[in-house]
Amino acid sequence: MIVAVMIVVFVLDLATKYYVQYNTALRDVVIIPDFFHITYVKNTGMAWSLLSGQQLFLSMVAAVAIGVMTYYLYEKKPAKPVAIALAMMIGGAAGNLFDRLALGYVRDFLDFYIFGYNFPVFNIADSALCIGVFILFICSLREKNDNAEVDR
């Protein structure tokens, strides 16, 4: 199941990027006015275009992160929620790494305006990474609370 999560995230990410990239009618579409647009952009950096143009560095960081998460997943055999979170993060990091290596940039297209703020454009891989981090955060809070109760 864990490998399936990685593959689904990776394939869904690449498929949606490909679809938006090659469907010119989707390059700049308003889905919900003042809230959600599809805006195709080529991102040579990371979030908020930080480290723009540093493809080699960002690729190396992603490859190392994928390696560390994969090692932890298979050697430590964490609880199922943690394993799913790591699988989502590995799939997402692999999707963006594929773009960096194959294209020299990451394809982003999900464009939200939240309370008047134009949030940075992102993709499915970024979403999977953020959801995975959120799940890990919740799991660590629960573990901390469980440990605190045992100490009482």
Q: One digit per residue, pLDDT tens: the chain, 152 residues?
A: 899 999 999 999 999 999 999 998 888 999 999 999 999 999 998 877 778 888 899 999 999 999 999 999 999 999 999 999 999 999 999 999 999 999 999 999 999 999 989 999 999 999 999 999 999 999 999 887 666 555 55
Domains of the chain: total: 1
Output the pTM of the full model. 0.90
Question: Which of 120, 90, 122, 127 shows the shortest CA–CA distance to 106?
Answer: 122
Q: Is 34 a catalytic residue?
A: no
Instruction: Establish if 134 belongs to a structural domain.
Output: yes
**34, 126, 146, 151: which is the annotated catalytic residue?**
126
Question: Which of 41, 54, 29, 23 shows the shortest CA–CA distance to 121?
Answer: 41
**108, 111, 146, 151: which is the annotated catalytic residue?**
108
Question: Which of 39, 66, 52 shows the shortest CA–CA distance to 105?
Answer: 52
pLDDT of res. 54: 87
For residue 133, what are the domain limits? 2-147
pLDDT of res. 51: 82
pLDDT of res. 70: 97
Instruction: Establish if 82 belongs to a structural domain.
Output: yes
Instruction: Establish if 152 belongs to a structural domain.
Output: no
Q: Is 99 a catalytic residue?
A: no
